[in-house]
Amino acid sequence: MVVCSWIVVIVVICVVSYIIALLLVDCDLRLAWATKLGKRVDSLAGRVVWITGASSGIGEQIAIALAKGGAKLVLSARRVQELERARRLCSCESGKDLTDRDILVLPMDVTDVDKHDSHFQLVLQHFGKLDILVNNAGRSQRANWEDIELAVDRQMFELNVFAVVALSRIIVRYFQKKKEGHIVVTSSLTGVKAVPFSASYTGAKYALHGYPCLSLQLEKLRSNINVTLLCPGPVFSNFLSESFTDKSGEKFGQGVEPTDRRMKTDRCGYLCAVAIANKLEEAWMAVFPVIPFYYVFVYYPVIRSFFIRLLGPRFFLKMRDSKVRMETMEV
């Protein structure tokens, strides 16, 4: 009887501690543990890391965090001037750890998949190797489901899914010959559980989770090829202004507000770098109360259904965007 009582006490303490921890952290508990007791980012010093979508936002901040840790970088995106700016920031933040040769600016359009191999050859010519590929390039979306043109769905998948798959396949074949390597994909918490008013984006992120990430993880489970899935929530960046809408060729065009409740981009970049250094299979990062909500939604689907019906789609849109932008969406 005494033993049973002690077991109950221990279980209660564990549950309470678990809940308190979720209320205090801005990432999933495994990542939070890694930030305190896991491998440091500087464990990647000397590794060659190729980052797509590195000219702004999360990609740029991942590059800066890795540069501080001494990693050698390949920075890719379409905008050459912004890439050069990112290169200067990385060089400055790294102190004297990186020389100009340690940061390669490689302009590319990731949707031009026929040129992926030639770009990769330039990486090998410059550094002689590649250790980590970070597939970060992508765009979000805001639209009502029934209004979305099919062309938008196709463009979203070309950028957010097929470009990732095409480049990753080239690199995985190289890693197999090298007998080690690390594929990283920037997804979103949207790919963990769907959100309203981003149907094409949600579908693309779900595809990312199942196609080039989880399937690849399972196939390479007993090899030295690691796969990390990064899942940020709302972050301060230019992603919203660049987002797809329901019409082909149109951008959402609205920026984030200083009063929005979002994670700072540099914090997100650092957490992503920690997840990469510790080779985590999946990493979530977002400000309160997003992480607790996602724990409930993933592990307690009945409670999730109750909350969704109780709170409604506008509540979840408000967690992502400001009240003003909500008015453009129909419920």
Helix axes 2-24, 290-299, angle to 10 degrees: 130
Our measurement of the distance from residue 294's CA atom to the centroid of its chain's CA atoms, rounded to an integer in Å, reads: 16
How is residue 82 written in tokens?
A: 């912004």
Cβ atoms of 251 and 208 closer than 8 Å? no
Choose, from 18, 201, 211, 300, the residue flagged as catalytic.
201
Using CA atoms, how far residue 150 sits from 154, 164, 179, 202, 328, in Å, is: 6, 20, 41, 15, 20
Q: Which DSSP state fits 42?
A: G
Angstrom distance (rounded) from CA 191 to CA 193: 6
How is residue 128 written in tokens?
A: 């002689």
Cβ atoms of 26 and 287 closer than 8 Å? yes
Angstrom distance (rounded) from CA 241 to CA 54: 17
Residue (of 16, 116, 119) closest to 74 by Cα position:
119
Q: Hey, how many other C-beta atoms are within 10 angstroms of the C-beta on 304?
A: 16
Active site residue 299: no
Q: Residue 257 burial by CB count (10 A; 0-12/13-18/19+): exposed, middle or buried?
A: middle
Angstrom distance (rounded) from CA 199 to CA 196: 7
How is residue 113 written in tokens?
A: 């998949």
Residues forming the active site: 201
